[in-house]
Amino acid sequence: MARGRSVEPDDAARRFRGSVARKGARVVTAYDDGRWKGDTTGRDRTAERPEWEPEVWIEDEAEAAAPSDAAAPSEARPRRRAAAVPEDVRAELADAVGRTGAERVQHRLSEAIKAYERDRYADALRTLRPLARAAPLSATVRELHGLTLYRLGRWPLAIKELEAFHALTASYDQHPVLADCHRALRHWKDAERVWDELRRASPPAELLAEGRIVMAGALADQGQLAAAIALLEQAKTKERPPPLHHLRTWYALADLYERAGDVPRARALFATVLDTDPTLFDTADRLAALV
Residue 28 has pLDDT above 60, yes or no: no
DSSP state of 83: P
- Residue 228 half-sphere exposure, CB side, CA atoms within 13 Å? 26
Summarised one tens digit per residue, pLDDT across range 65-102 is 333 343 333 334 344 444 567 777 888 888 887 877 77
How far CA 58 is from CA of 10, 40, 102, in Å, comes to 11, 9, 31
CATH numbers and ranges of domains, the chain:
17-65+82-289 (1.25.40.10)
- Residue 59 half-sphere exposure, CB side, CA atoms within 13 Å? 16
User: What value does the mean pLDDT take over residues 22-28?
Assistant: 36
In three state form, how does the secondary structure of 1-15 look? Answer: CCCCECCCCCCCECC
Cα separation, 130 vs 158, whole angstroms: 15
Cα separation, 160 vs 174, whole angstroms: 12
28 beta partners:
55
pLDDT confidence band for 291 (50 / 70 / 90): confident
Better pLDDT: 2 or 258: 258
Summarised one tens digit per residue, pLDDT across range 175-186 is 999 999 999 999
Summarised one tens digit per residue, pLDDT across range 207-260 is 999 999 999 999 999 999 999 999 999 887 778 889 999 999 999 999 999 999
Residue 21 has pLDDT above 60, yes or no: no
Specify the 3-state DSSP secondary structure of 283.
helix
Round the average pLDDT of the chain to a whole number and report it: 77
Percent of all residues in the chain with a pLDDT value above 90, rounded to a whole number: 59
Cα separation, 266 vs 254, whole angstroms: 4
Specify the 3-state DSSP secondary structure of 24.
coil
pLDDT of 63 reads 31
pLDDT confidence band for 117 (50 / 70 / 90): very high
How far CA 120 is from CA of 114, 174, 227, in Å, comes to 9, 20, 37
| Burial grade of 216 (CB within 10 A; 0-12, 13-18, 19 or more) | buried
pLDDT of 83 reads 56
Summarised one tens digit per residue, pLDDT across range 129-182 is 999 998 999 999 999 999 999 999 999 999 999 999 999 999 999 999 999 999
pLDDT of 81 reads 44
User: Other CB atoms closer than 10 Å to residue 207's CB: what's the count?
Assistant: 22
User: Other CB atoms closer than 10 Å to residue 199's CB: what's the count?
Assistant: 15
Would you put residue 18 in left (φ > 0), alpha (ψ -120 to 50) or beta? Answer: left
Cα separation, 171 vs 140, whole angstroms: 12
Summarised one tens digit per residue, pLDDT across range 32-50 is 333 222 222 233 323 333 3
Cα separation, 253 vs 249, whole angstroms: 6
Specify the 3-state DSSP secondary structure of 56.
strand
Cα separation, 106 vs 112, whole angstroms: 10
As a whole number of Å, the CA-based R_g of the chain is: 19
